[in-house]
Amino acid sequence: MTLAVLLALIGALSLGAIVWLAISRSLQISARASLASQVEPLDVEGFRNLADTAEEAYLRRRLPASEFRIVRRARLLALAAYVRTAGRNAAVLVRAGQDALTSSDRATAEAATELVNQALLLRRHAALALVRIYVAMAWPQASPAAAPFLDGYRKLSGAALLLSRRQKPAAPIRLSVW
């Protein structure tokens, strides 16, 4: 009995470590290209549609169970792709904000601090959202609950726009396609 519990615990911890590594690797950025070119605009309306629980409830009512599972899995995979993109954008903005922290202009340094804080918070939310999405794929009753993530992305987008307008007013960074 003790051996079975021990093996189950080791298996669960191993699975958790594999999921955590996969998620953290998917949120990393490349150091080769310029930071501004690495930001990928996100279709916020598409993201909202995929995360909408009312839309999922509608599909659940209208589709046969087998079709609904296929559609839900595809929607969750698309949602995970959006979250990974947002997480990578946050990682890029952490680096951009850290570069701007040394600015002699006090307002720029404050905007950079706010950007770094928002980006780090969103990266954490992205990792947690990915775990919730993968759990929702495994257990159909689970909900990915992406609404707080969307709010964090909106705040990050505002902080990025503020800092980029202070640094390069002619070419601000855009994180969202509305």
Q: What is the pLDDT along the chain (178 residues), one digit of tens a residue?
A: 687 887 788 888 887 777 776 666 655 555 545 556 678 888 888 888 888 888 888 999 999 989 998 999 999 999 999 999 998 888 888 888 888 888 788 888 888 888 899 899 989 888 888 888 888 888 877 777 776 778 888 888 888 888 877 777 666 666 665 5
Domain boundaries, the chain: 2-29+37-177
Alpha-carbon span 172 to 164, nearest angstrom: 5
The residues, ordered by sequence, that sit 6+ positions from 91 with a Cβ below 8 Å of its Cβ are 27, 28, 29, 119, 123
pLDDT at 32: 46
The phi and psi torsions of 176 (rounded to 5 degrees) equal -130, 150
Which amino acid does the sequence have at 12?
A: A
pLDDT at 84: 92
pLDDT at 142: 75
pTM, to two decimals: 0.72
The phi and psi torsions of 31 (rounded to 5 degrees) equal -90, 0
Alpha-carbon span 64 to 154, nearest angstrom: 35
Taking the CA atoms of residue 123, residue 126, residue 128 and residue 129 in that order, the dihedral angle to the nearest 10 degrees is: 170
Alpha-carbon span 178 to 39, nearest angstrom: 16
